[in-house]
Amino acid sequence: MQARFSLLFPAALVAMVLAAVAGVLWGTADIGWADRLAILSRSEDAPRGLSLIVWQWRIPRVLAVGLIGAGLSLAGALMQTALRNPMADPYLMGLSSGASAAAVAAIIWLPAAVTDRLGVPLIAFLGAAAAFALTMGLSQRRGQPMDPLIVVLAGVAVSLMFQSLTAFFLYIGDPHATRNAMGWLMGTAAGTEWQEVPLLAVAVVALGLMFLTQANALDATLLGEERAQALGIRTARLRAMIFVATVLLTGLAVAVAGIVGFVGLIVPHMARLLVGARHRVLLPITMVLGATVLIAVDLLCRVLLAPEELPLGVLLALFAAPPFIIILRGLRRAV
């Protein structure tokens, strides 16, 4: 697998760079090749309006989407390891439902002055954190180690509760505000700004490097709780680190692009099929593949029905459905 990784990882990096370049060069605005080169080289002859589109809209959007894809894929791989559940993903613990309920409530009920001051992304992040805290509170049993199955069940219960709240808010809300909320719930990276990129970059890179140093411990965790502890792994501490990292990565993703599902579920499976389950090679290629997939899908969202833009979460779900069915069939055979 190490030899395969040595070949596949550079290829994945090249694919990611090509997807990013395509995301910068193509979009709803028709820009000629001469103008593209002039804009990218910051030439004085570059059209000012088109330069604004590329440097202020497209480039930060591509960077943010790539970082979100990498972060959600990393979180998905870690969650699947921590819970030893191949169907786990970053939204398993009610994070997306909590963020959705908080964001929809803010859009529909709070005065515009409040939402402008706080920002819907921050409110959504707080909702995700609240859902996580509730899930952990329901799954903790005093004096006993955390049971991954209880965590999953608690996450499902919290998700259902917040989904019901979201549906209630949408049902009784003003139609105009409800339409805005629905657009956010479907996921979109439109309107991404440069100031949203640095925090995403620091979180994704720092957490990726941190868990690479824990690769051996993560490998041992797959052997089971008792075996990992016999090898000297502090499984409770490692699992807590994974949960906190998942909340941070998912909360930042939701804050920037709304609800973007399936990346954290499908991409880690793709990476395991390519390089195996050793985390030293799994985590890097998972992050690169996640960035590539989301950049490519976001580009399709912009160009398929141009000048209209498709919701990122909707198109991603359509592409993710076939691999998800294949994974389910594989799991049935394994059982």
Work out the pLDDT band at 286, boundaries 50, 70, 90: very high
Single out the residue of 226, 283, 213, 298 nearest to residue 249, CA to CA. 283
Nearest to 216 by CA among 282, 265, 148, 275: 282
pLDDT at 44 over 80: no
Residues 189, 61: contact at Cβ < 8 Å? yes
Could you count the other beta carbons within 10 Å of the beta carbon of residue 256? 25
Judged against a pLDDT cut of 60, whether residue 197 lies above it is answered with: yes
Average pLDDT over residues 226-255: 84
Q: What is the mean pLDDT of residues 127-153?
A: 79
Range of the domain at 29: 2-334
131 within 8 A of 94, measured Cβ to Cβ:
yes
Is residue 275 within 8 A of residue 285, CB to CB? The reply is: yes
- Return the minimum-mean-pLDDT range out of 51-55, 89-93, 217-221, 244-248: 89-93
Model pLDDT for residues 76-86, shown as the tens digit of each residue: 999 989 888 77
C-alpha–C-alpha distance, residues 121 and 244, integer Å: 19
Average pLDDT, the chain: 83
Q: Structure tokens of 323?
A: 């691999």
pLDDT for position 152: 79
Are 148 and 93 in contact by the 8 Å Cβ rule? The answer is no
Q: What is the pLDDT of residue 285?
A: 95
Percent of all residues in the chain with a pLDDT value above 90, rounded to a whole number: 24
What's the structural domain count of the chain? 1
Q: Are 147 and 139 in contact (CB under 8 A)?
A: yes
What are the Cα distances from residue 118, in Å, to 108, 219, 255, 259?
Answer: 15, 41, 12, 19
Contacts of 34 (CB under 8 A, 6+ apart): none
In this prediction, residue 284 carries a pLDDT of 95
User: Is 335's pLDDT higher than 50?
Assistant: no
Q: What is the pLDDT of residues 250-266, one digit of tens each?
A: 888 887 888 887 888 88
> In CATH, what number is assigned to the domain containing residue 62?
1.10.3470.10
pLDDT band at 333; cut points 50, 70, 90: low
Which one of 13-22, 48-57, 115-124, 230-239 scores highest in mean pLDDT? 13-22
**Residue the block writes with tokens 């219960």:** 157
Q: Tell me the mean pLDDT in the region 134-147.
A: 76
Q: pLDDT confidence of 99, banded at 50, 70, 90? A: confident
137 CB-side CA count, 13 A: 7
pLDDT above 70 (res 329): no
* 180 against 203, higher pLDDT: 203
CA distance 159 to 247: 14
Instruction: Please give the residue that has the higher pLDDT: either 35 or 6.
Output: 6
Say how far apart CA 335 and CA 241 lie, in whole Å: 30
pLDDT band (50, 70, 90) for residue 145: low
**Average pLDDT score over residue span 149-170:** 86
What does pTM read for this prediction? 0.88
Provide the greatest CA pair distance for the chain.
Answer: 69
Instruction: Give the integer Cα–Cα distance in Å for 321 and 301.
Output: 17
Mark out the alpha helices in the chain (DSSP H runs): 2-25, 33-40, 48-52, 59-82, 95-109, 112-118, 120-139, 148-172, 175-185, 197-212, 215-221, 225-230, 235-257, 263-275, 279-303, 312-334
